[in-house]
């Protein structure tokens, strides 16, 4: 698959961008967009909170950062309960959307914003400025055809309030997200396929690890997967790198063999290099992670978050296309994996 560098083409000189707080991927894929904006001498402000903001702030310490509360969604411990728990949190999501709309209206006036860019924040738009929505999920996978259509209808209700929709994928058949980014029904607003968004670059490095295990995604599933992996690493004889995906943490209480290297978090440059120092990567099948792996042309085993139907669809889709291998979390065993 080809990889191109994305160049933003939006009006105005002062841009406000905000990623959703569901996992780190929404924040990491905003990094190449911010880089493009800065290359055009745009003034960039970033709104949000949580670990994703820490990642952006470490990459661009010179920018203006505005605190904006996230959606604070909690996830089920079981795959079966995932969708039901999301349904019960719809009132909280609705409240968050209304809250960010009110916040944005005031902030646009205060900072004289020209354009806003939202990565999946449904209420982050305003008719006084040019508003862009970023998503690869135009088609929704819930496991039910009825709910797929219902959730897409609700999703499009919000997307159509923006001026433009950017899809980080390619329009042609050789795409990365399949039906997620290429549904039969499209939004009413102009929709542009912008190619892959990745903060990484392909490098030539010496192999130091058999596996680079990169954890990410929502709790409690991140910790549950980590606990499983840590137990298996205690008897592992190979050189393995474990990146826990905790940018706000400095605590590490693991007692692992010397052949296991553990980091709570790595910045963009170090993670880019370390992932390419491994024979293969083990990671969630989040879309931003997939785009990073494609960019650095790295072999990988994808382990979708249990119950997260988008990740399950994506992992199976890429496995069928023989781009990556996939295994369920319940069947995961490090010693049985091969590259």
Burial class (CB in 10 A: 0-12, 13-18, 19+), 93: middle
Q: What's residue 219's pLDDT?
A: 82
Average pLDDT over residues 36-49: 95
Q: Are 240 and 209 in contact (CB under 8 A)?
A: yes
Q: Is the fold of 14-193 the same as that of 209-336?
A: yes
Q: What is the CATH superfamily name and number for domain 209-336?
A: Glycogen Phosphorylase B; (3.40.50.2000)
What rounded mean pLDDT belongs to the chain? 91
- The fold of the 14-193 domain, in CATH, is Rossmann fold (3.40.50)
**Tens digit of each residue's pLDDT (9 = 90 or more) over 274-324:** 999 999 999 999 999 999 999 999 999 999 999 888 999 999 999 999 999
Percentage of the chain beyond pLDDT 70 is 93
Res 21 pLDDT > 70 = yes
DSSP secondary structure letters along 276-310: HTEEEEEE---HHHHHHHHHHT--EEE-PPTT-HH
Res 1 pLDDT > 90 = no
Domain residue ranges in the chain:
14-193, 209-336
Q: What pTM does this model have?
A: 0.90
Q: What's residue 339's pLDDT?
A: 75
Among 174, 261, 167, CA closest to 211: 261
Res 7 pLDDT > 70 = no
Average pLDDT over residues 208-216: 96
């Amino acid at each position: 698959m080809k990889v191109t560098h994305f160049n933003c083409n939006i009006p105005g000189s002062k841009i406000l961008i905000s990623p959703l707080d569901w996992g780190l991927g929404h924040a990491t894929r905003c990094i190449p967009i911010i880089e493009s904006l800065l290359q055009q001498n745009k003034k960039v402000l970033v709104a949000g909170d949580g670990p994703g903001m820490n990642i952006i702030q470490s990459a661009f310490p010179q920018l203006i950062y505005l605190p904006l509360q996230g959606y604070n969604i909690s996830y089920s411990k079981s795959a079966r309960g995932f969708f039901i728990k999301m349904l019960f949190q719809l009132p909280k999501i609705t409240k968050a959307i209304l809250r960010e709309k009110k916040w944005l209206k005031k902030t646009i006036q205060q900072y004289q914003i020209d354009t806003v860019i939202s990565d999946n924040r449904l209420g982050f738009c305003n008719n006084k400025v040019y508003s862009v929505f970023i998503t690869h999920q135009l088609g929704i996978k819930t496991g039910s055809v009825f709910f797929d259509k219902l959730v897409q209808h609700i999703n499009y209700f919000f997307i159509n309030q923006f001026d433009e929709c950017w899809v980080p994928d390619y329009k042609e058949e050789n795409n990365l997200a399949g039906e997620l980014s290429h549904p039969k029904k499209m939004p009413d607003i102009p929709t542009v396929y912008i190619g892959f968004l990745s903060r990484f670059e392909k490098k030539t490095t010496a192999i130091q690890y058999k596996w680079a295990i990169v954890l990410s995604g929502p709790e409690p599933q991140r910790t549950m997967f980590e606990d499983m992996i840590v137990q298996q690493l205690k008897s592992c004889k190979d050189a393995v790198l474990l990146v826990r995906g905790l940018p706000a943490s400095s605590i590490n209480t693991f007692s692992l063999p010397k052949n296991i290297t553990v980091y709570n978090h790595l910045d963009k440059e170090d993670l880019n290099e370390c992932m390419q120092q491994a024979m293969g990567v083990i990671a969630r099948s989040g879309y931003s992670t997939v785009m990073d792996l494609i960019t650095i042309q790295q072999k990988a085993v994808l382990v979708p978050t249990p119950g997260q139907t988008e990740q399950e669809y994506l992992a199976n889709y890429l496995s069928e296309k023989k781009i990556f291998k996939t295994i369920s979390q319940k069947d995961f065993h490090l010693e049985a994996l091969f590259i």
